[in-house]
Every structure is written in C-alpha cells, then in structure tokens.
Amino acid sequence: MKDGRIKNIKIDRDPEGSQVKAFQTVHEAYQFLQSLGASQKLILHVKLVGEAADLLISKLHELRVRFDEKYFRLGVVFHDAGKILHPEELNAKGNNHEPDGEKLLLANGVDRKLARCCRSHGRWQTMECSLEELLVALADTLWKGKRDRQLEDSIVNRLATQCNKDYWELFVEIDSCFEAIASDGDSRLLRSQAA
C-alpha cells in the first residue's frame, strides 16, 4: 500500500455488470481490510483462522476433494470484516458484525459471494451454504479449539457424497484432522492475545 492506495487489486464485473474487486492473494485481502480500518487484532484473528484453514486445505487435497481453494482462503480473511464496525465483538460474543460486515464489503466493491461469508460463517444452520462457506465456519470454530458436531457432520456428509465414499470411512479419516486442528486451539488463542 502506498499513498493509501492498494496496488494490484484487479477490478472485474459481476453477472449484473457491477464492478467488483478481484483479489489474487490473501495478502491483498489483508491490505484491503486494513484500508477499511481493520485493527491489528482483527488481522491477527483472521490469520489464526487461516492457519486452521491451511490444515483443512491440506487434508482436502489429500482426499482429492474438489473445492474452490481461493474462495475458501479469501472467505476466511473476510468473514469477520464487520468487526471493523463492531470492534467490541472481537472480545465479546455478538453477531452484529455478520450482516454489517457483508454490507461493508458490498459497499466497497467486494464480490457478493465473498461478502456473504460474513453472514454464513455464523448463520450456516439457517442458510443454504456452499461447501466453502461451511469450511469457513469450520475453520472459525476449530482455530480456537472448539468442535461443532452438527457443522462437522454437514461437511462430512457433503464430502462423502462428492468423494463417493462411505460416511463412516470418511469420518474416521477426517475427524482426526478436525481433532488435530482443535487440539492446537489453546496455542492459537494465546497468540491471539498478542495484538
């Protein structure tokens, strides 16, 4: 970033013809969040969630799952953008950041699909979500050492169908990955206090 401008962010058009920002890397997405006023604590948070996402991505590649990795990675970066407007929700429970984050990103030219991750990561139970949106919600759960059986079950069911594998065979294989990610949650939570 120089002169307050972000370099290298491409502008595309969405299906309705509106201009949207096209992010090529998570680094560009971090810069964009900072340009919107994201605190260091928020940037650290999405990076820590990104660590959990990286481990999920490795497992998904190992299982030869088809998914949009870039969308998943960028969804992780943007999922809590609303905490720019609701910084109190970085330290306390709250969900005002979800719809407000989506509005903030849309108002600043972010693709609707990516902006929707602000809502879907916390409201996946009541929304029709893509696999990638469910993975964003899972990374946001596992990073801090928590498990959500309903969310995990939704993902394993989708993956079993996609991979044409038996649910329990896949469950055994992927549950150990979920547990390994969650088991490092205390370490990530400690590091989240650094900002």
Q: What are the structural domains of the chain?
A: 10-192 (1.10.3210)
Closest C-alpha among 154, 158, 134 to residue 71: 134
Q: What phi, psi does 2 have (nearest 5°)?
A: -140, 140
d(CA 195, CA 181): 22
The band of 22, judged by pLDDT with boundaries at 50, 70 and 90, is confident
Closest C-alpha among 73, 66, 65 to residue 136: 73
Place of tokens 């998904």: 60
Specify the range with the lowest mean pLDDT, choosing from 7-11, 67-71, 131-135.
Answer: 7-11
The model's pTM is: 0.89
Residue 8 has pLDDT above 60, yes or no: no
| Length reported for the chain | 195
Task: Please compute, for residue 101, the number of CA atoms within 13 A of its CA located in the half-sphere on the CB side.
Answer: 31
Other C-beta atoms closer than 10 Å to the C-beta of 55 total: 18
Segment 63-83, tens digit of pLDDT? 999 999 999 999 999 999 999
Residue 100 has pLDDT above 90, yes or no: yes
**DSSP SS3 for 25:** coil
Check residue 62 and give its pLDDT.
95
